[in-house]
A and B are shown apart, each in its own frame.
Chain A
Amino acid sequence: MGNDKLLEIQDLKVFYRLDAGVLKAVNGLSLAITKGTTTGLVGESGCGKTTLGKSILRLHKPDEGRILFKGRDIWTLDRKERKQFHKEVQMIFQDPYASLDPLCVVSDIIAEGMDIHGLYSGSERRNRVLELLRLVGLNEGHANRFSHEFSGGQRQRIGIARALAVEPELIVCDEPISALDVSIQAQIVNLIKQLQKKMNLSLLFITHDLSMVRHISDQIAVMYLGSLMELAPSDSLYETSYHPYTKALLSAIPVADPEVERGRKRILLAGDVPSPINLGEGCGFSARCAYASEICVSIRPELREREPGHFVACHNVDIINQ
Chain B
Amino acid sequence: MRPETKGAGTSMDEEPILSVNNLAVSFDTYQGEVQAVRGASWHLWKGETIAIVGESGCGKTVSIQTVLGTNPKGVGRVKSGEILFHGENLLEKTEKEMRAYQGNKMSIIFQDPFTYLNPTMTVGDQIIENYRQHRKATRKEAESRVLEIMRLINMPSPEKNMRRYPHQLSGGMRQRIMIAIAIICGPEILFADEPTTALDVTIQAQVIDLMNELRAKLNTAIVLITHDMGVVANMADRIYVMYAGKIVEHGTADEIFKGSAHPYTKGLLGSVPRVDRKTDKDLYSIRGSPPDLIAPPPGCAFAARCRYAMNICVKTEPEPVNLGDSGHFSACWLNHPAFIRKASEKQGTEARHG
Does A127 interact with chain B (Cβ within 8 Å)?
no
Q: Which listed residue (B171, B202, B267, B278) contacts A252, Cβ 8 A?
A: B202
Q: Which residues of B contact A252 (CB under 8 A)?
A: 201-202, 204-205
Q: Which residues of B contact A266 (CB under 8 A)?
A: 205, 209
Q: Which of B200, B204, B228, B285 is within 8 Å of A187, CB to CB?
A: B285
Return chain B residues, CB-CB under 8 Å to A215: 273, 279, 283
Instruction: Contact check, A190 vs B285: say whether CB atoms are below 8 A apart.
Output: yes
Interface residue A108 (Cβ < 8 Å from any Cβ of B): no
Q: What B residues does A193 contact at CB under 8 A?
A: 282
Q: Which of B228-253 contact A (CB under 8 A)?
A: 228-234, 253
Sample (25) of A-B pairs whose CB atoms are under 8 Å apart: A44-B200, A44-B201, A44-B203, A45-B171, A151-B289, A154-B289, A181-B55, A182-B268, A182-B271, A186-B270, A190-B282, A208-B201, A211-B273, A214-B275, A214-B278, A252-B201, A252-B204, A252-B205, A254-B228, A254-B230, A258-B233, A258-B253, A269-B205, A272-B171, A272-B172
A210 to chain B, nearest CB (A): 6
Please state if B271 and A185 are interface contacts (CB–CB under 8 Å).
yes
Task: Please measure, in the bound complex, the distance between the C-alpha atom of A235 and the C-alpha atom of B202, giving whole angstroms.
Answer: 21
Whether the pair A186, B289 counts as a contact (CB closer than 8 A) is no
- List chain B positions with a Cβ less than 8 A from chain A: 55-56, 156, 170-173, 200-206, 208-209, 227-234, 253-254, 257-258, 267-276, 278-279, 282-287, 289
Contact yes or no, B200 A268, CB < 8 A? no
Say which residue of A208, A259, A268 sits within 8 Å of B205 (CB atoms). Answer: A268
Q: A45-B200, A186-B283 are in contact. Are A268 and B206 (CB under 8 A)?
A: yes
**Interface contact A214-B273, CB-CB below 8 Å:** yes
Assess A210 versus B201: contact at CB under 8 Å? Given A186-B271, A215-B273. yes
In this assembly, does A273 line the interface, its C-beta being within 8 Å of a C-beta of chain B? yes
Q: A182-B268, A211-B272 are in contact. Are A255 and B285 (CB under 8 A)?
A: no
Compute how far the CA of A187 lies from the CA of B55 in the bound complex, rounded to whole angstroms: 14
Contact A208 B200 (CB under 8 A): yes
- 0/1 string, A242-277, CB within 8 A of B gives 1: 000000111111111111110000101101110000
- B56→A181 contact, CB < 8 A: yes
- Tell me the bound Cα distance from A194 to B204 in angstroms: 31
A positions within 8 Å CB-CB of B: 44-45, 151, 153-154, 181-187, 189-190, 193-194, 208, 210-212, 214-215, 235, 238, 248-261, 266, 268-269, 271-273
CB distance from A205 to the nearest CB of B (A): 13
Chain A residues with CB below 8 A from B156, complex form:
271
Name B278's contact: one of A189, A235, A248, A251 (CB within 8 Å).
A235
CB–CB A255/B268 < 8 A: no
Q: Is the Cβ of B271 less than 8 Å from the Cβ of A258?
A: no
Residue of chain A at shortest CB distance from B57: A181
Report if A186-B284 is in contact (Cβ < 8 Å); known contacts: A254-B228, A254-B234, A272-B172.
yes
Residue in chain A with minimal CB distance to B235: A254
> How far is B55's CA from A267's CA once the two chains are assembled, in angstroms?
30
10 closest residue pairs by CB, A with B: A254-B230, A186-B271, A256-B229, A186-B285, A252-B205, A44-B200, A186-B283, A183-B286, A211-B275, A272-B170
Chain A residues positioned under 8 Å from B258 (CB to CB) = 259
Q: How far is the CA of A182 from the CA of B228 in the complex (A)?
A: 8
**C-alpha spacing A255/B253, complex, angstroms:** 13
Contact indicator B279/A187 (Cβ below 8 Å): no
Say whether A211 contacts B274, CB under 8 Å: yes
A268→B209 CA distance, assembly (Å): 9
Q: Which residues of B contact A181 (CB under 8 A)?
A: 55-56, 227
